[in-house]
Chain A
């Protein structure tokens, strides 16, 4: 028995994966509520003076526009999966 992969199911699966992936990335990179960042800052302390100072390194921190964009695209994919496909007319 052949198994047909429904376009609807692909769209819905894509939507779920995108939503899950986006939300997971956002949470794992610190649930940052500002814009996405391209550097990560770590505070260190100078032993002699006691001064706390920031050390920057390259790194991605997902922001709200990353989360929002992922949610919107996922909703669009899910919405498309509910559209009716035009049924081709059968010739007599």
Chain B
């Protein structure tokens, strides 16, 4: 005759192990966006001219565990040729060899190395993410305040495919870089092209479930 207590205990242990296993591995979120919504916007405010533009050529992967957000790792890339401004001549200059030189340096990348100051409230996690930012072939360590919003089960709704199971991870970050630090026409034309570039990143990654 089976021991009911032992059976219940075994079942409880198995259930607990399954629950732990389901949260043990971080989820891998792909940031290549078929809807073209993921974007980075930039703004430069010089004495003679204000320049605003954007890019939606964003890709990359972030490994995020909702139970352990401090262990987040990943890399985001921006296709430099997708950066655009409202004036076509200005866009050609932006892509040219004097400025971003997109032919020689086709990607702008950020690779996260560590997180600090992690605090979670509801579905939002805020953290200071330190990583290697590479622009025009120059890599510098930067620390960026990021807000992660984890949206479990929302992937199907976003792609209008209710049968598609999966989670979303939204990243938002606002930070400023100095173009001279990355060799972007350093010290030149500061009256028309500001040294400080304000960046605003709003991207969503998808982690489909098998």
Contact = CB atoms under 8 A, between A and B. Distances in A.
B204 A49 contact: yes
A51 B204 contact: yes
B202 A35 contact: no
A48 B87 contact: no
B75 interface: no
Contacts of A52: 202
Nearest to B88: A38
A61 B51 CA distance: 14
B203 A51 contact: yes
A50 B56 CA distance: 16
B177 interface: no
Interface string B23-39: 00000000000011111
B149 to A, nearest CB: 8
A24 interface: no
Nearest to A44: B37
Contacts of A53: 36-39, 56, 202
B interface residue count range (under 10 / 10 to 19 / 20 to 34 / 35 or more): 20 to 34
Nearest to B172: A51
Interface in B29-81: 35-39, 41, 49-51, 54, 56
B86 interface: yes
A41 interface: yes
Interface of A: 33-41, 46, 48-54, 56, 61, 63
Given A48-B157, A48-B168, A50-B170, 15 more contacts: A34-B87, A35-B49, A35-B87, A37-B87, A38-B86, A39-B86, A46-B204, A48-B151, A48-B154, A49-B151, A51-B38, A51-B202, A52-B202, A54-B39, A63-B87
Interface of B: 35-39, 41, 49-51, 54, 56, 84, 86-88, 90, 149, 151, 154, 157-158, 168, 170, 202-204
24 contacts: A34-B51, A36-B87, A38-B87, A39-B84, A39-B86, A46-B37, A48-B151, A48-B157, A48-B168, A49-B149, A49-B151, A50-B170, A51-B37, A51-B38, A51-B39, A51-B170, A51-B202, A51-B203, A53-B36, A53-B202, A54-B41, A56-B84, A61-B86, A63-B87
